Structure 1
Amino acid sequence: MTVTVDQPWAKLLREGDEVTAALPLADHCLDVGAAMAMVIEAWRAPLEAGAGRALSAQDVARLCALAALHDVGKANRGFQARIDPAKPPVGHTAPVAALLNHSVLKRSAAAEILHALMRDWGARQHVAAVMAHHGKPLAAFHQRAMVDTGSWTALVDEWWEKAGDAPAARVVPVIEAVRARWPLAWEAGAALPDAPRFVALFAGLVTLADWIGSDARRLPVGAPHGDAREPLRVEQVRAAAAARGFLPLDTPACDFEQAFGFPPHGFQLEAAGDEFGAVALIEAETGSGKTEAALWRWLELRRRGQVDGLFFALPTRSAAVQLHARVDAMLKRVWGTDAPEAVLAVPGYLRAGDAVGQALPDYAVRWDEPGHNERERAPDARWAAERSLNFLAARVAVGTIDQALLGILPVKHALFRAGVLSRSLLVVDEVHASDSYMAGLLERLLVHHIAVGGHALLLSATLGAAARAGLLGGAVPPLAETEAQPYPALSGSDAALRAAAGAAGAAKQVAVEVAGLIDDPQAIAGRAIEAARAGASVLVVRNSVAGAVAVAQAVAARAPELAFAVESVPTLHHGRFARDDRQRLDEAVEQAFGKSRRARGRVLIGTQTLEQSLDLDADFLVTDLAPIDVLLQRIGRLHRHRREDRGAFAQARVLVLRPAARDLSVLLGKGGGGRHGLGSVYPNLVQLEATLRVLERSPEIVIPRDNRRLVERALHPDALAAIVAGDPAWHNHAAERAGGELASAEAARRIALDLSQPFRTLTFADVEEAVVTRLGARDLLIDLPDPIASPFGGAVTRVTIPAHMARGIGARDEPRVTGPATFEIGARRYGYDQWGVHALG
């Protein structure tokens, strides 16, 4: 039955063409204002840090009232006409600018009330922030909107009185309802804080409040309405905050061993100290216990009331998937049955704690918990895990670094991401200096995160002095001085570098061989097979997927019994597999190369997905040449755990692959194709030359004793300057790379949001595609209309196409399955087999 709608509505329920329920606009505004009150309490500390002062009760009332007024524009004629689905869509945010700016409309009662509010509260920037609640600052509220009027003048007609219909008059009762709910907001008092970072943070949190206040599972479109709705509103908004982890949660008393099941090393406790400042840094070799040190620091910061949440950011999806279970286990040991669930913040996955979700139509998710029946949970308890946009709002999440960096880029909902992250300790694992663009983005993110009261912890096995100075501030010491600096080490934005007690494991001697085999997959396969037949667990890490596939196919053809396999199918490890198959790959890798691996020969081949954060233990490493910090990451996968069964490989060994011609200068100025990442994936050939020279002089290295020396001699500015001196070709390349790296860092700074600027100057330029693609977040997630066969058994219904392989695919192109393991989208054709997704034709 169609209901009668006799007042401005905000939301409708339909059955076919009939409207079965309508939520009055005033009720929806009050719902969101009430949600804002809960959000402010959860994010009070960041808000006050951004404001530079404590928030008064009147400040809070005004912020709630402003959030409540987010949808007053829905009173416009065009929006209200949408009760008829055949009417054209008209928005509700930019029309508010027309009401406020037009020379006649601004004299309406509604506009005069809003102008007085902005004047008396000092809220012009805040109103612009509220109207950005759909994810981007609006041109209609930019400070140039009275000059560049095209963003709002076409909307003036939506407010004119016609045939007795006065849309602007409909705004007044909504404002009065908000005023009645928060009368303190309208009393005389000091202006709202207007520091730009505070306003930007407020903008992101208004989005969160809007989503809470719009959740029809708690706040229905149907009755009750009016005064009868207030008890429901109070109850359900608080219940929503509790379910989503926004209410205070005490940290139980426990010691390190209770939290992790083993006693601590000295540095793991020391790293939790308060003296490091808002940004702390742990430099220690792979496997030293940095992860536990990070988690313990989070627990101690929580006990001191300095943070609430945790976002653990890793470089790869595989690393995030693996670490998620460890973090969730720690939460259970500390909190017991009442533990918050760790959200796996990896797009394409639905996982919270032990529970795995299944996507259903209309964005619904069914959650299954292994081993027992689903416990009684609030419908929105796993809200943060159900959409990638919500990941950072989780109390605890483990995901990829791009999720955090999207909070500082001019892309939709960046302000929401940065806003909800502000209550958390941001842990960034595997920090290194090989990508100036990503380093520039991380620096900008840290500046904002710290400015609004956040804390960060950086973890690295291989950070050079120049990179450390960029992240923590300060000058780069001379080469001789940096070589003498302690390693492993602790430092921070407020603390100088010092030795990390107990972080150095037993000395690991590694035999280093350099060979000109990088272009010969058969020769590489031969060396790997030879070592595996001698009983070694062999890890082959290549700089490109194509290079990895070539070696994997050679090993599978020549020695299938030694090839890494899933369900007896030879394969390899990289990022171009379907999610379910990636999970099977990760599990098989852990079984074959993890801590409890069986002592027998096996060859595992992959790309950078194997070098970062995965807990692998190999005897022999074959790796393409890469910058020294990357190589040390890879070498960290050798002899990671104590074993007595390594036989002929009791000493760890690494074979570093270079071009057959030793002279890397022949690569200068040439294109990147076919060079196995030398000059493309790793564009700084001076760093590669420095790395090669260091390795050629070091037939044996000792980890961690030599880490600092190796990193500084291959990455320090003085070391690189020595290579280019007197050689015009190297000098020109170095100048080009210096300009390129400066340009990359500058591009990051230029593209990244500068939230120290007034809100009404912010614009989200048309750079979204480029910046998100560079983060790897623009990969296409394809739901196939029919399943294709998994090479490991079962079916694949969803695949990811890397952005660079998806060029030419249009937004409306639909996938079509063309064979048992092939599909096409638009003009692009793809295959999927034991070697992953690959382009055809």
Structure 2
Amino acid sequence: MSGTEPWAKLTRHDDGSLAARLPLLDHCLDVGAALDAILPVWQPRLEEAAGRPLTSQDIARLIVLAALHDMGKANRGFQARIDPAVKQTVGHTGPVAALLRHSGLRQGPAARALFELLMGWGADQHLAAVMAHHGRPLAEFHTDAGKHSDSWTRHVTHWMPQGHDDPAIAVVHLIDALRARWPLAWEAGPKLPDAPRFVALFAGLVTLADWLGSDTKRFPVEGPYGADRNAWRGDQARAAAVARGFTPFGTPPAPFEALFGNAPYPFQAEAAAADLGPVPLIEAETGSGKTEAALWRWVEMRRRGEVDGLFFALPTRSAAVQLHARVNRAVQALWGEDAPPAVLAVPGYLRAGDAKGQALPGYEVRWDRGEPGGAEDRRWAAERANRFLAARVAVGTIDQALLAALPVRHALFRASALARSLLVVDEVHASDAYMTGLLERLLDQHVAVGGRALLLSATLGAAARARLLKTPVVPLAEAEALPYPALSGIGSPPRAAMASGGTPKHVRIETAGLIADPDAIAQRAVEAARAGAAVLVVHNSVAGAVAVAQAVAALASELAFRVNDVATLHHGRFAATDRQLLDEAVEKAFGKKRQAGGRVLVGTQTLEQSLDIDADFLITDLAPMDVLLQRIGRLHRHAREDRGAFGRAQVLVLRPEERDLTPWLDRGRRERHGLGNVYPNLLHLEATLRLLEARPDIAIPRDNRLLVERALHPEALAPIQQEGGAAWINHGHTLAGGVVADGQRASGVALDLSLPFNQLVFPDDMADVTTRLGARDLLLDLDPPLAGPFGGQVTRIALPGWMVGQVASGAPVERLDDRRFRFGGRDYRYDQWGLRTDGG
């Protein structure tokens, strides 16, 4: 351009006038310095994906390419945005394609310089990856873009010279400056690796480098500029990388006892073995210490140089919240004051280490500890959900990891950030073919770039185990005979692993046709509580749980679970601030240190997995055996002497009043209680019910393997299907088709990073996919706020995507009264029973 150096970032005074501008060249060099600072941690993963070691020249070329990420900002349309009166928004990534594709622009010096670089380095795919740094591949760089010129021709006019004004000259100057800064990149040498997974991994790292290099606290818009800026920006980039956990970090020597306060059980020590392959599986009963085994494996793998970070993925938010504190304590015990803060990767919580954050306008966060020395930098990954996987240590929900396997914005960043970490997936079971299919794809792409994973389960059946560990499904008799507890892995057959060595937990099971009678359920719960039992009631649906909780509160308010003296229950439809109160109250009332005395806690699946809950008596809706065993794991979790009449664990399993489940095959049935919708496989439910009726006394862990296989194994289900007649046979065929369809659907929507980068397509609308995943909560800001049911105010609430339906972007939120609001033409109520549609 003539006379004016192009800018990359601006700041303005309150009146809108220009305060300062950051030159494009400086910003590009900042981002190059940022990639230079973070590459050492990810270099082993890049080399695994490339299939060869990276040379110093490879590194220099990757840095230069990352620095070119914003070269498109030189275009006239973007630069015009310096004038606040200009309303037209012109971008800076897609326009680069016009510079390279248009017949006239291709002859200019900028395009020639770029082609020299792209052809000489073999970097065509890499440039497409760089231009995806805002979170998704661009249509302008797709392999078919030349056939559909409208994807890039609209940008041509913004590059065309006008008199002495040639925007592309700024690109030439930028390339010259980068050549001077990293001359090794232009020396003769082999071309860059172009394996698709290498390019995709690089794409995610460019996004990370851009975020670091765009931090105006580290790289202020107002300067400094000048000859010494390269040294200054290098120092700034390294400081940011160190503070945010993106540089190598040693592991101090420490025994198991120092981290967890006790000697390891044999299986915990053996779980750290190096011969279990890239994806080991630990199968052991609930409460046996699988979490500590996973953490110890991570520590030992760090010492062997196999991994750097840790992402602990759990099935529910409540489980993640509770486990976060345990992981953080272990990390602090290992590293002391130098410990990286364990991030709670749950949207809305803003927790890193022991610090809690408060969301402020403009995506800012105020942390409750304002220590000097860059403490906020260390909590950077906790501030936004799309950064969670970049934390060195994070505990979150499985959906945060699965988003790395779907073509949604920032999936490539998530996958790249996760690549350096041990991915621990807790409470794996045969949930459904769709979720298992996504998990398969995630594990495949993670392992393909050298990532490592660990699966934990108390109840994994042979079919699910075979699918995840890439082995054939063994016959039923062989499956029942497999050891339990056990360690196995891809390429490593199951081997016995002794767990705690404690006495088996004997459980007495009763079944009753009360699933649709909340008053009768409440009566049984209250009777047990009055006898001194800590009673846990788990329903398959929120509506069912609310009905029972209300019945308990009406029958015996003094025994109902309470938060700040308000009777309530536990499920996922509470505002984040109230969920924190609920989780803390659950831990206090039903945790390891709970006081003696009767009480009743009602909830949903949020109570069944990974929570350290200790109950005396369980009342639960009928569910598949693997799920029931998870729920039973909440009973007698710790040694206590005050259980009275409930010295033996007891379970009441609720079924329909009529024992025959055939009517529940009717998909149109209104009252389902999770039978056929939450848990669609009624063969699993029928097999589970038969087993419980035939074996009212079970022992854990002795019977875990047998119970799971006889309720879930295909060979065990076939006779039930045949005996049931046409309706059950048709149901079985429908299920089989659905399983195949769900598996195919998961494969169809999941990212395929084996494709060349310029063939990747991210659909514009992935709402259905993310809603099914449970990741499409819509965060609503409430102004004025609602009155919180437990005190305080609710300023933000998440609406599940399935509850919202189709709502126009920017739709207003109308507060109706202290408890109700209207959004998208629908009224909602939020009170002590959680969020629901008004009247629902």
- Tell me the TM-score normalised to structure 1 length: 0.98
- 1:837 maps to 835
Once the two structures are TM-superposed, the CA of residue 797 in structure 1 deviates from its matched residue by 1.7
Query: Does the aligned pair in 2 maintain the 1:288–1:505 contact within 8 Å?
Result: no
1:567 positional shift: 2.0
2:791 to 789, 793, 812: 793
Structure 1, 90-99 or 771-780: larger mean CA deviation? 771-780
1:355 counterpart residue number = 355
CA spacing shift, 1:504–1:497, aligned 2, 3 Å: farther
Return the offset for 1:510: 0.6
**More moved, 786-795 vs 288-297:** 786-795
CA contact (8 A) 1:612 1:633 kept: yes
Q: Residue by residue, what CA displacement relative to the aligned partner does 1:747-797 show, whole Å, maximum 9, x if unpaired?
A: 111100000111110000134211111121111222210122222222222
- Quick check: 1:557 aligned with 2:550? no
Shift in Å, 1:140? 0.5
**One-letter code aligned to 1:74:** K
CA shift at 1:22, angstroms? 1.6
Partner of 2:387: 390
* 1:174 counterpart letter in structure 2: L
Q: What is the CA-CA distance between 1:224 and the residue it aligns to?
A: 2.3
Uncovered stretches (5+) of structure 1, i.e. residues with no partner: none
Aligned residue number for residue 66 of structure 2? 67
Alignment of 1:344 with 2:344, yes or no, is yes
Q: CA deviation at 1:21?
A: 1.5
* 1:499-538 aligned within 5 A: 499-503=496-500, 505-538=502-535
The 5-angstrom pairing of residues 27-426 of structure 1 reads: 27-87=26-86, 88-369=88-369, 374-426=371-423
Q: What residue in structure 2 maps to residue 707 of structure 1? A: 704
Which SS does the other structure have where 1:302 is aligned?
A: helix
Verify the 8 A CA contact 1:23 1:221 in the aligned structure 2: yes
C-alpha contact 1:504 1:704 (8 A) present in aligned 2: no
Q: Match for 1:69: what amino acid?
A: L
| Aligned equivalents of 1:263, 1:17: Cα separation in 2 | 63
1:12 alignment partner in structure 2: 10
The Cα of 1:568 is off from its aligned counterpart by 2.0
1:24–1:225 CA contact under 8 A, matched in 2: no
What is the distance in 1 between the residues matched to 2:3 and 2:629? 68
Of stretches 768-777 and 706-715 in structure 1, the one that deviates more from structure 2 is 768-777
Report sequence identity in percent. 66
Contact 1:217 1:379 survives alignment (8 Å): no
Q: What TM-score do you get using the length of structure 2 for normalisation?
A: 0.98
CA offsets per residue over residues 202-230 of structure 1, 9 Å max, x none? 00000001111111111111222242321
Work out the CA distance in 2 between the residues paired with 1:161 and 1:203.
31
Task: State how 1:815-834 maps to structure 2 within 5 Å.
Answer: 815-834=813-832
1:714-725 matched pairs, under 5 angstroms: 714-725=711-722
CA 1:202–1:23: 2 relative to 1, 3 Å: same
Worse overlay, 785-794 or 207-216: 785-794
CA contact (8 A) 2:367 2:376 kept: no
Q: 2: CA distance between counterparts of 1:52 and 1:657?
A: 55
Q: Is the 8 A contact 2:310 2:392 kept in 1?
A: yes
Partner of residue 665, structure 1: 662
Distance in structure 2 (CA, Å) of the matches to 1:495 and 1:630: 26
- Check whether the contact 1:809–1:828 (CA below 8 A) recurs between aligned residues: no
Find the partner of 2:609 among 585, 609, 612.
612
Distance 1:673 1:227, change over 3 A: farther
Distance 1:521 1:490 in 2: 42
2:568 pairs with one of 565, 568, 571: 571
- Match runs of 1:474-485 below 5 Å: 474-485=471-482
Residue 769 of structure 1: aligned partner: 767
Q: Distance in 1 between matches of 2:719 and 2:8?
A: 68
Q: Look up the equivalent residue of 1:516 and give its one-letter code.
A: G
Q: Secondary structure at the match of 1:588?
A: helix
| 1:376 to 1:171, Cα distance in 2 relative to 1, 3 A | closer
Aligned equivalent of 2:494, options 470, 492, 497: 497
Residues in 1 aligned to 2:801 and 2:131: alpha-carbon distance in whole angstroms: 32
CA positional deviation for 1:359: 1.4
Cα 1:584–1:379 change in 2 (3 A) is closer
> Pairwise mapping of residues 464-479 of structure 1 onto structure 2 (< 5 A)?
464-479=461-476
Q: Which deviates the most, 220-229 or 32-41?
A: 220-229
Q: Give a deviation string over 1:574-602, Cα, whole Å, max 9, x none.
A: 01112222111111111111111122111
Output the CA distance in 1 between the equivalents of 2:823 and 2:789. Answer: 21
- How far the C-alpha of 1:169 sits from its partner, in A, is 2.1
Which moves more between the two structures, 117-126 or 765-774? 765-774
- Following the alignment from structure 1 to structure 2, what is the Cα–Cα distance between the partners of residues 504 and 458? 22
Deviations 1:165-194 (CA, angstroms, capped at 9, x unpaired): 111222100111111111111111111111
- Structure 2 distance, partners of 1:467, 1:73, is 48
- Which of 754, 758, 763 is 1:760 aligned to? 758
Do the aligned partners of 2:40 and 2:248 also contact (CA within 8 Å) in 1?
no
Q: SS state of the match for residue 423, structure 2?
A: strand
**2:324 and 2:342 in contact (8 A); partners too:** yes
TM-aligned CA deviation for residue 9 of structure 1: 1.2
**Counterpart for residue 656 of structure 1:** 653
Retained in 2: the 8 A contact 1:573–1:606?
yes
Contact 1:320 1:400 in 2 (8 A): yes
Given that 2:341 and 2:378 are in contact with CA atoms closer than 8 Å, whether structure 1 keeps it comes out as no
Q: CA deviation at 1:672?
A: 5.6
Alignment partner, residue 592 of structure 2: 595
Q: What is the one-letter code of the residue matched to 2:828?
A: Y
Residue 755 of structure 2 aligns to a residue whose secondary structure is: coil
Tell me the distance in 2 between the aligned counterparts of 1:813 and 1:233: 42
- Confirm or deny: 8 A CA contact 1:288 1:503 kept in the other structure: yes
CA distance in structure 2 between the partners assigned to 1:379 and 1:721 by the alignment: 58
How do 1:426-505 residues align onto structure 2 when only pairs under 5 Å count? 426-503=423-500, 505=502
Compared CA separation, residues 159 and 808, structure 1 to 2 (3 A):
closer
The answer to whether the 8 Å contact 2:777/2:801 transfers is: yes
**Letter of the 1:162 counterpart:** Q
Whether the 8 Å contact between 1:393 and 1:420 is mirrored in structure 2 is yes
Contact map agreement 1:27 1:226 (CA 8 A) in 2: no
* Rounded Cα–Cα distance in structure 2 between residues aligned with 1:780 and 1:735: 36
- Answer whether contact 1:285 1:504 (CA < 8 A) is retained: no
Q: In structure 2, what is the Cα distance between the partners aligned to 1:195 and 1:837?
A: 48
Mind listing any 5+ residue stretches in structure 2 that lack a counterpart? none
Contact 2:38 2:247 in 1 (8 A): no
Separation of aligned partners in 1, 2:3 and 2:284: 65
1:374 Cα deviation after fit: 3.1
Question: For residues 404 and 502 of structure 2, what CA distance do their matches in structure 1 show?
Answer: 37
Matched position secondary structure for 1:275: coil
Contact kept in structure 1, 2:99 and 2:106, CA below 8 Å: yes
Supply the AA of the counterpart residue of 2:72: G
Count residues with an aligned counterpart: 835
